[in-house]
Structure 1
Amino acid sequence: MTDELVFYTNPMSRGRIIRWMLEETGADYETRVLGYADSMKGAEYLTINPMGKVPAIVHKGRVVTECAAICAYLADAFPDAGLAPTEEERADYYRWLFFAAGPLEQAVTNHNAKFEPSAEQGRSFGYGDYDRAIATFEKAVAAHPYIAGDRFTAADVYVGSQVMWGMQFGWMPDRAAFQDYAGRLAERDAYRRGNEKDDALMPQQAPAA
């Protein structure tokens, strides 16, 4: 039943990552679209995510937030989809999933905000500096067809979204390794379906505040 898996989102948000992931699982789910200025900050939703942000899912009464966590959770919750890592893939799967959600996200966000840490500050920053984080990420993306090896996994949904959005909005350099990786992911049927569903919701939403 769809009420066992409820997806809270806005089409102009990182909820698009989770839409793609949900489409990859093939699971039935209910979508609840929230507005930035109203329902996302309303009392009902704040009981689900006190941060007042999307995306979030509620599966069998359990709340999961944060995109990387949701991707990993859904891979485990729907094993028949084959999105969780094998024993051989597990190290790279978790390493780069959390690298993208942690050091890379921090590096890209600060760089986009025009904040560059000094050499002294970089010693205490998890990502060191932007150039180092991007170079490390580029090597990871170029190492295999997919982030954990030769096979698509849930980690590619999150990592791939970082690459595609990063190049689209200029947060990351437009390099061959990123282009090739993004091109493979953009051909996936689930990615296309997810975009179509979110694009269809766009006219109903006001721009983010």
Structure 2
Amino acid sequence: MNFQSWPHRVLVVDVEGNGTTPPDLVEIAALPVRAGQPDTSTAGAWLICPERPVTARAASIHGLTNEFLADKPAWTELADQVHDFIGKDWICAHHAHVDYRELSRHLPTWEPAGVIDTLRLAKATYKGLPSYTLDALLKHVGPNLSQAPRVGRHRATYDAYATAQLLLAMAGHYETWDQLIAAAVPPGLPGAPEPETDPTLW
């Protein structure tokens, strides 16, 4: 992959919610990828005290309890900061519909340049796998996660780092940025390639 064909910054994002429907956000991570490498030195990460309590099931998955989040800022205090950090860059996430939907709901004036879904990309890159969950793909690809945040799986910062490594591993199967996004951007989301139209006969 020629990373010079990529945008200057692609943000690998992950969000965690409080388990309600629709969810309140409790954690957001945004990890820049520049020149084919994750840039942890300029990553953004936010913990949020939700309006509604974290459900027991959600807390059992990501470990973010009501007690832990009680002294964290409310979303209204962080929204402008998150919006300014994410800007209009391309974003990437695993099962990106979810992250894009929740970020868009919480940031109604935000619109990224495009949305890469590593789930969709994995199905195009590694055909025939029995599972395309993040855990299954990490086991299949075996990226180096030794520099991942120590908070562990299902925390936004860890999952964003793992997803970034997965994206970069799959990028090696494509020669150009355009080829990658043709496989990775779900139809209907920002950045999806326009369908080709038949040339006029006139």
Q: Quickly name the TM-score band, shorter chain normalised.
A: under 0.3
More helix by share: 1
TM-score of the pair, normalised by structure 2? 0.27
More strand by share: 2
TM-score by length of 1: 0.27
